[in-house]
Amino acid sequence: MTMTARSGRRGKDIRSDCWVQITLVENGGRSIALSSKVDVLYGRSIRALVDDVLAFFSIDHAAVEVEDAGALPYTIAARVEAAVRRLHPEETREYLLPAIPGTTAHSARDRFRRSRLYLPGNDPKLAINAGIHQPDGVILDLEDSVAPDSKDDARILVRNTLRAVDFQGAERMVRINQLPLGYEDLRAVVPQSPQLLLIPKCETARQVQEVDAAIGDILRERNLKTEIYLMPIIESALGALNALEIATASTAVVALAIGLEDYTADIGAERTLEGRESQWMRGAVVNAARAAGIQPIDTVFSDVGDMDGLRASAKEARSLGFDGKGCIHPRQIPVVHDAFAPDEQELARAKKIVLAFEDAERRGLGVVALGSKMIDPPVVKRAQRTITIALKAGLLAAEWREEDAHA
């Protein structure tokens, strides 16, 4: 049996995290050596929490070292539990602090997903205040941003984050690993009611169905009733060819996203700013998503310092039919939101169409006309969505109908 195990991160640049080392001893009880800048204020509560986690897992004799860099209780508990599990891989119990209100709230199939902010699952400092940047969704990432030897660490931390952090209305998302490793992610996070799960490098409908089935099994085992949506990520030639099958693989699928780094590598092309090498794939995904009645979501823009490039990329994505774009830094969020907002001409036309539709409804007319031109239902629906986006973006006052009537 392993006698010493570690978890967490330490170093001069680490914030809001801690490093824990547990060494099992034959007797002497539990000793906790704490190094923390906030020892005077919070040392007693940190030691009590560490001791409580150890007692929960029946660790009666151990020498524990903790190097704290301002970690919150949910992070400390996660790091101690991860070290315990490394000592006892067969352990299945979970140490769960009380969840804050709202962590079981449902999302909506057609909610805004203009921006989704990726957060490395093993770095708690980025998650704590992510909601203040007002992304439409936050992604706690367990895949590419987490080193292979830290997957178990990150899984427990993400589980606790879902229970402890208020994302201020952003959709609570988790990107799992590819199966079969992703099954372990699902067992950890599904009971905490994430609103949406991203399936990376998705190539077949079967992969979606396997994830969907695993979610259902976990919910039934725990006697939980919650709705968890799915967003497969298309990142290969095979995935692009199977986009429609993937989009319709489950009623839980609400969006298709794309990942161009892996896709361009898969087809043997260099990724360029112009994006000619991915035009076919992007068109295929947009068409598959629209045919399935779900949202197409564009890839991330990797240069966090190039706001002009990001704006151009987001506007192009919108022109191709995408509903949103991935973000890897909070400063990208307002640029993406602005790019996906309607311009003055679009908004003016949408207002006219919506007013004409509402007038036709009041008069009991079966058709909608704008001047001498008949307006088809899909055009009305698009105009209504434009109005909704404008309202959310603050481009339109809630009383816009009254304002238009007096204009």
Place of tokens 């952003």: 170
pTM of the model as a whole: 0.91
User: How is residue 279 written in tokens?
Assistant: 């035009």
pLDDT of residue 360: 86
One-letter identity of residue 96: L
Q: How far apart are the first and last CA of the chain?
A: 78
CB 204 within 8 A of CB 245: yes
Q: Indicate the burial class of 310 (C-beta count within 10 angstroms; 0-12, 13-18, 19 or more).
A: buried
Start-end ranges of CATH 3.20.20.60 in the chain?
Answer: 115-339
User: How is residue 108 written in tokens?
Assistant: 């909506």
CB 73 within 8 A of CB 44: no
Q: Read off the DSSP letter of residue 89.
A: T
pLDDT of residue 405: 63
Locate all alpha helices (DSSP H) within 332-374, ordered by sequence.
Answer: 332-339, 344-362
- CA neighbor of 321 nearest in space, from 298, 338, 300, 301: 298
CATH number 3.30.230 given to 4-87: yes
pLDDT of residue 2: 66
pLDDT tens string 122-171: 999 999 999 999 999 999 999 999 999 999 999 999 999 999 999 999 99
> Residues 110, 116, 118, CA angle at the centre, nearest 5°?
145
Q: Which fold has domain 115-339?
A: TIM Barrel (3.20.20)
User: How is residue 379 written in tokens?
Assistant: 């055009």
One-letter identity of residue 99: A
Locate all alpha helices (DSSP H) within 28-72, ordered by sequence.
Answer: 39-56
Distance CA 75, CA 280 (A): 43
Other C-beta atoms closer than 10 Å to the C-beta of 260 total: 21
Distance CA 159, CA 78 (A): 9
Whether omega before 342 lies within 30 degrees of 0, making that bond cis, reads no
Start-end ranges of CATH 3.30.230 in the chain?
Answer: 4-87
The residue count for the chain? 407
Q: Read off the DSSP letter of residue 268.
A: T
pLDDT of residue 41: 94
Concatenating the DSSP letter of every residue in 382-396 gives HHHHHHHHHHHTTSS
pLDDT of residue 370: 80
Please, how many CA atoms are within 13 Å of residue 290, restricted to the half-sphere of its CB? 12
- Regions of the chain where pLDDT drops below 50: none
Distance CA 325, CA 321 (A): 11
Mean pLDDT computed over every residue of the chain:
94
CB 390 within 8 A of CB 347: yes
pLDDT of residue 307: 96
Other C-beta atoms closer than 10 Å to the C-beta of 165 total: 22
Distance CA 189, CA 397 (A): 39
pLDDT tens string 219-249: 999 999 999 999 999 999 999 999 999 999 9
- CA neighbor of 255 nearest in space, from 114, 396, 50, 371: 114
Distance CA 256, CA 164 (A): 28
pLDDT of residue 407: 58
DSSP lists the bridge partners of residue 108 as none
Provide the edge-to-edge strand list for the sheet that holds 17-24: 4-8, 17-24, 62-69, 30-36
Task: Quickly count helices (H) and strands (E) in the chain.
Answer: 15, 14
Distance CA 187, CA 217 (A): 10
